[in-house]
Amino acid sequence: MKKRLFIMVEGEDDIRFFGRIIKPLFISRYDSVEIIPYASIRRTKVNNFLKSVRLMKNDYIFVADIDTEQSVRDKKQILFYHFSNIESGSIIVVIKEIESWYYAGLSWESVVNLGVPDLPVTDELTKENFNRLIPRKFDSRIDFMFEILKYFSMDSARMKNHSFRFFVDRYHLADPIHERSQT
Amino acid sequence: MQNHDLPPTSLSDGTMTIFALIIALYFEDKPFIIIEEPVTHIHPFLVGRVITMMKESSKSKQIMITTHSTEVVKHASIEDLILISRDTEGFSVVSRPADKEEVRTFLENEIGIEELYIQNLLGL
């Protein structure tokens, strides 16, 4: 039987990010990597979907924004309440929202080229803050996001966002930063 | 206003489509009918009835339809679906979702056919 990875994400901005940046990093480990947006699907169906994936002995990663919860643990508790078939080890909580991961990937060069503020840390960056940072020259938010993804820097993102670094380290998607600095 | 003919141009596209389907399904005696995108312009509420008409008519003739409609997929039987998708090299691949164990597992756990189609999982 083929081994697949299902990455459950909230919406379109997440699909874009995980499709362009994350999926290529997993593709060599699985027969296929499927990105599934769950926000528009009823919770009972999402729960049944997780059950199906587990029955087929496939892997999944469930990605959720921390939103207004105070901690990752609190967010996980809410997910456990909504989805009885979810497993703690498969949950990744984005702090604060996926926009913070996008912006974290802007290296110094990209920040200068785009003419946007350089943020040393994006852990507190919300969707609203992100939208206020979009330069006027971009026709749309999506346009700006695509531009970020074109020049996305994994190293920069890991330095600037703790939840992204946790995700990358958890799934061994890149060499640990402390090892690199020693070479 | 009695005995006035109604010109076809005053009918909606959906109404015209329904008329055409009724003629093709019930008044054509051809043994094999192919219909491309039969539910275009038809209200989703009526799609189930259109599919029922097709199933009824298929007792006496072979009917093949092409569709992108989730409503059609929802009302079809999994055994009646043939999926045409594109592989990584751009070539068309023909498959039967009913033959796939993973698709059956999803269906057994109440993930509907139309949901699998929307999520692009019928071709797993």
Do residue B120 and residue A41 have CB atoms under 8 angstroms apart? no
Q: Model confidence at A182, in pLDDT bands (50, 70, 90)?
A: very low
pLDDT in tens, B50-66: 999 999 999 999 999 99
Q: What is the pLDDT of residue A183?
A: 38
**Does the pLDDT at position A181 exceed 60?**
no
Fold of B9-76: Rossmann fold (3.40.50)
Angstrom distance (rounded) from CA A6 to CA A55: 13
Do residue A48 and residue B109 have CB atoms under 8 angstroms apart? yes
Placement of tokens 């890991």 in the chain: A158
Residue of B nearest to A57 (CA): B102
Residues A7-20, mean pLDDT to the nearest whole number = 97
Q: In this complex, is the C-beta atom of B74 within 8 Å of any C-beta atom belonging to chain A?
A: no
Contact B35, B24 (CB under 8 A): yes
ipTM of the complex: 0.80
Chain B residues whose beta carbon lies within 8 Å of the beta carbon of residue A4: 102, 124
Residues A145-172, mean pLDDT to the nearest whole number = 96
Angstrom distance (rounded) from CA A161 to CA A103: 9
Of A1, A36, A51, the CB nearest to B109: A51
Q: What is the pLDDT of residue B2?
A: 67
Do residue A49 and residue B109 have CB atoms under 8 angstroms apart? yes
Do residue A48 and residue B121 have CB atoms under 8 angstroms apart? no
pLDDT in tens, A68-85: 999 999 999 999 999 999
- Number of CB pairs < 8 Å for A and B? 34
Q: What is the pLDDT of residue A1?
A: 63
Number of H helices, E strands in chain B: 5, 4
Helices A43-55 + B101-108 axis angle, to 10:
140
Chain B residues whose beta carbon lies within 8 Å of the beta carbon of residue A51: 109
pTM: 0.88
Residues A147-175, mean pLDDT to the nearest whole number = 96
Angstrom distance (rounded) from CA A48 to CA A58: 14
Domain boundaries in chain B?
A: 9-76, 77-124
Contact B68, B41 (CB under 8 A): no
**Amino acid in position B56:** E
Mean pLDDT by 10 residues, chain B (124 residues): 78 92 93 95 93 93 96 93 92 95 94 93 88
pLDDT in tens, A87-118: 999 999 999 999 999 999 999 999 999 999 99
DSSP string, A47-116: HHHHHHHHHTT-EEEEEEE-TT-SSHHHHHHHHHHH-TT--GGGEEEESS-HHHHHHHT--HHHHHHHT-
Interstrand relation of B92-95 and B83-86 (parallel, antiparallel or unpaired): antiparallel
